[in-house]
Amino acid sequence: MFGILLVDKPLGISSHGVISRLRKTLGTRRIGHAGTLDPLATGLLVVAVGPATRFLQYLDLEPKTYVVTYKFGESTTTYDAEGEITETKPVPSNLADEIQLHLPQFLGRIAQVPPIYSAIKHQGKKLYEYARSGQEIAVKTRHIFIHSYETNSVSATEATFTIVCSGGTYIRSLAHDLGQAIGCGAHISELRRTGAGAYQITDSFPLDQITPSNLIPVKSALKHLPFVVLNPDQILHIRHGRSFNHPNPIDHPKAALLTEDGNVVGIANVSNAITLQPECVIPAEVFDQITANL
């Protein structure tokens, strides 16, 4: 089995839980995902099956799009509804005006402090492990990019937004930080990922309906990269890690390497527009198994 799945993750299950279920459904252990979703989040989870896991890092998965609801007036330990409430404050009666006043500071390239309840590692341990043991540590700031931050609706204590952002953005921190800027606190009550680069939630399938027929060919998933067709001698070269020159300039830092039959065999770095250095190559024995099942 070799391909990409677009899964609509249901509420209440972790991204790893999705992978565990798919391993049983598809009968294979070699499955991975890109872009973790918390158990309280739903929506698009991009999954690679079989040797396609080698190509996850090369997929067109940015920017990410989310539809999210914030509850104002309550701050929590985890910045979402799963955590304990740490503070309650009155919500301004002009909440919509306050939101529009403060949103501009969260657009473009900004510095963000991830939640302490996150899987980011610090000195070999995940941050949430420090939080659960009561240890206080300084969480490092990271830079992210917010392409757009649109207000969909506002009620007395809640607001729903559509956010388009770079990978690595913590929407929980955006909720917390906007609540702090307004002065009443806020946390996420609902979160749904609706897009990741070239993929939309409308292209996905519910977890309990996934079958092998839903697999997207890796070649289709890499269509944002230039394709370079190799002859058998060149394939032998790249399997030994050797670079080669392409006769035509390539205007991209990476290229997908294909056999003459049109099957993806690897990824190469492109330098000087013509020199291709193999970076990720499917071993011959694995490739033969893949093509035998096509």
- Number of Cβ within 10 Å of residue 178's Cβ equals 23
Task: Measure the CA–CA gap between 65 and 53, rounded to whole angstroms.
Answer: 23
Active site residue 38: yes
Q: Is 262 left (phi over 0), alpha (psi -120 to 50) or beta?
A: left
Percentage helix, strand, coil for the chain under 3-state DSSP, each rounded to 5 = 30, 35, 35
Nearest alpha carbon to residue 40 among 14, 16, 70: 14
Beta bridge partners of 145: 109
Find all residues with CB under 8 Å of 208, minimum gap 6, and list them: none
- Cα–chain center distance at 150: 20
The pLDDT score that the predictor gives to residue 96 is 98
pLDDT digits (tens, 9 = 90+) for 74-85: 999 999 999 999
Task: Measure the CA–CA gap between 268 and 123, rounded to whole angstroms.
Answer: 33
pLDDT digits (tens, 9 = 90+) for 146-178: 999 999 999 999 999 999 999 999 999 999 999
How buried is residue 185: exposed, middle or buried, by Cβ count under 10 Å (0-12/13-18/19+)?
Answer: buried
Inter-CA distances, 229 with 113, 226, 247, 270, 281, Å = 44, 10, 12, 14, 14
Inter-CA distances, 80 with 103, 169, 220, Å = 19, 15, 36
The pLDDT score that the predictor gives to residue 215 is 97
The pLDDT score that the predictor gives to residue 113 is 86
> 212: cis peptide before it, omega within 30°?
no
Task: Measure the CA–CA gap between 39 and 263, rounded to whole angstroms.
Answer: 36
Please identify which of the residues 38, 203, 208, 251 carries the catalytic annotation.
38
DSSP string across 142-173? EEEEEEEEEEEEE-SSEEEEEEEE-TT--HHH
Residue-level pLDDT, tens digit, the chain, 294 residues: 899 999 999 999 999 999 999 999 999 999 999 989 989 999 999 999 999 999 999 999 999 999 999 999 999 999 999 999 999 999 999 999 999 999 999 999 999 988 876 666 655 666 666 556 666 776 778 999 999 999 999 999 999 999 999 999 999 999 999 999 999 999 999 999 999 999 999 999 999 999 999 999 999 999 999 999 999 999 988 999 999 999 999 999 999 999 999 999 999 999 999 999 999 999 888 877 777 666
Find out whether 72 and 91 touch, Cβ atoms under 8 Å: yes
Task: Measure the CA–CA gap between 70 and 263, rounded to whole angstroms.
Answer: 45
The pLDDT score that the predictor gives to residue 129 is 67
Task: Measure the CA–CA gap between 34 and 57, rounded to whole angstroms.
Answer: 8
Helix pair angle (95-102, 171-182), 10° resolution: 110
The pLDDT score that the predictor gives to residue 127 is 60
Domains of the chain: 3-61+198-219 (3.30.2350.10), 64-196 (3.30.2350.10), 225-292 (2.30.130.10)
Query: The pTM is what?
Result: 0.92
